[in-house]
Amino acid sequence: MTLQCGIVGLPNVGKSTLFNCLSNAKAQSANFPFCTIEPNVGVITVPDERLTKLAELVHPQKIVPTTVEIVDIAGLVKGASKGEGLGNKFLANIRETDAILHVLRCFDDDNITHVDGRINPVRDKEIIDAELQIKDIETIDSRIAKVQKQAQTGGDKQAKLVYDVLVRFKEALEQGRSARTVLFDTKDEQKIARELYLLTNKPIMYICNVDEASAVSGNKYVDAVREAVKEENAKILIVAAKIESEIAEFETYDERQIFLAEIGLEESGVNRLIKLAYNLLNLETFLTAGPQEVRAWTYLKGSKAPQCAGVIHSDFEKGFIRAEVIKYEDYITYGSEAAVKEAGKMNVEGKEYIVQDGDIMHFRFNV
C-alpha cells in the first residue's frame, strides 16, 4: 500500500532539514529558496513499540516494521497558481500526494532569511492556502460547466447532487476557506466530495517548527496557528527541527533518550510526526508473530479481514476462510500464542470482521 504525505511550505521554513531527519535520503538543505527542486521521496519506518515487546516473547529471526512515504516538495511562493517560481511543479507534486504536512516557521533567527522579510506563520499558511484554493476554484468551475445544465433542466438527480456539492465548495473557496472546512451530511455527498480530489480537501497536519526553548510547550507563533486553523479539522504538531537534527546524530537509542529527557521531551518530534502522518492517511496496523518474523502490516482503517489478508498476499484474500485473532494486550498478558489459546482468548472471525489496530492475525485460506 503506497500512500504518500507531502511536506510543503514556503522557502526556508525548515522543510528539508525536517525531511533529512525523517529519512536517509539527503535533500540539500541551504539558506536560499528552491534548494529542493525535484521532490525527494523517503520511505520512513513507522515506530511501533509493540513489535519490540512481541519480539521479546517470540524471539523471531527478524522484525519487520511498516513504512510510510514522505515527499519533500519544492518551496512555494506567492503566484504559484500562475506558474510563479516553481509553482507548476509544486502543484503537480502536491496533487499526487494523499495528505499534506505543512511546515510553518515559528521561530526567530536573523541568520536565516525569510522570503517575506518577517516571521508570521499565519500569513505564510494563508499564502499557500490561497494558491491551492485558486487551483481548486479552477477545478470546480470546470466541473460546474459540465453538469450545470443537466442538473438544472434535465431532471438528473445525480447531476443535481454533484452540482450542489460543487456550489458549496465554490462558495467556501471564494470566501478564502479551504474545501476541508465544508462538511457534508450524507454518504453520497461525501463520496462526491472525495472524488473531486481537491487540493484543499486533502487531510493536513500543520508542523510548527520552533526554537529549542519552545520545543515542549510552543510559543506565541504556535498559539496564533492554533487559532487560525481551529475550524479546519487539522492536526498540529510542535517540532524543533534543529533539535531533531542533533538527535539524529546520536548513535544509540539510550543516548537519544537521555538527550530528550534533558530538554523535557518523552519522544522525538520525528517519531511523533511519523505516527501522526500514518494516522493522517487513515492507516492502521495489524501484526503477525512467529519464529521467522514479527511483522507490522498496513491497512486502511475500517477494512475487513479478507481485505487485510490480501495485504499479505492476494491469494489469502481470494481463498479466505477465516481469521484467528489475538488482541495484542492478551498476547502480552499470557506470553505466548499457546497460552492465549489455552485461556480461550483467541477469537475466530469471518469475512465481516473489521480488523482493529494491533490485532495479531493468522489467516486460514484455500486456493
Return the percentage of the chain with pLDDT > 70, whole number: 88
Cell readout for 49 is: 513499540
Residue 168 pLDDT: 95
DSSP symbols for 81-138? GGT-TTHHHHHHHHHT-SEEEEEEE----TTS--TTSS--HHHHHHHHHHHHHHHHHH
Residue 88 pLDDT: 60
What letters, b where the CB count within 10 A reaches 16 and e where it falls short, cover 157-193? eebebbbebbebbbebbeeebbbbbbebeeeebeebb
Residue 103 pLDDT: 93
Cβ-in-10-Å burial (0-12, 13-18, 19+) of 266 comes to: exposed
Residue 34 pLDDT: 38
Residue 77 pLDDT: 58
Residue 324 pLDDT: 97
Q: Are 168 and 182 in contact (CB under 8 A)?
A: yes
Find, among 234, 225, 283, 363, the residue nearest to 46 by Cα.
283
Rounded-to-integer distance, Cα 97 and Cα 200, Å: 12
Rounded-to-integer distance, Cα 68 and Cα 99, Å: 11
Find, among 224, 42, 201, the residue nearest to 119 by Cα.
224
Reported confidence tier of residue 308, pLDDT bands at 50, 70, 90: very high
Q: Quick check: 33 pLDDT over 60?
A: no
Rounded-to-integer distance, Cα 96 and Cα 8, Å: 13
Residue 42 pLDDT: 80
Sequence letter at residue 247? I
Please list the residues that pair with 105 across neighbouring strands. Answer: 209
Cell readout for 16 is: 528539508
H or E segment at 1?
none
pLDDT (average), residues 75-103: 70
Considering the entire predicted model, what is its pTM? 0.83
Residue 26 pLDDT: 42
pLDDT (average), residues 225-235: 90
Q: Quick check: 13 pLDDT over 90?
A: no
- Which residues lie below 8 Å from residue 201, measured CB to CB, with a gap of 6+? 136, 178, 179, 180, 193, 194
pLDDT per position as a tens digit, 321-347: 999 999 999 999 999 999 999 999 999
DSSP symbols for 7-66? EE-STTSSHHHHHHHH-SS-----SSTTS--SPEEEEEEPP-HHHHHHHHHH--SEEE--
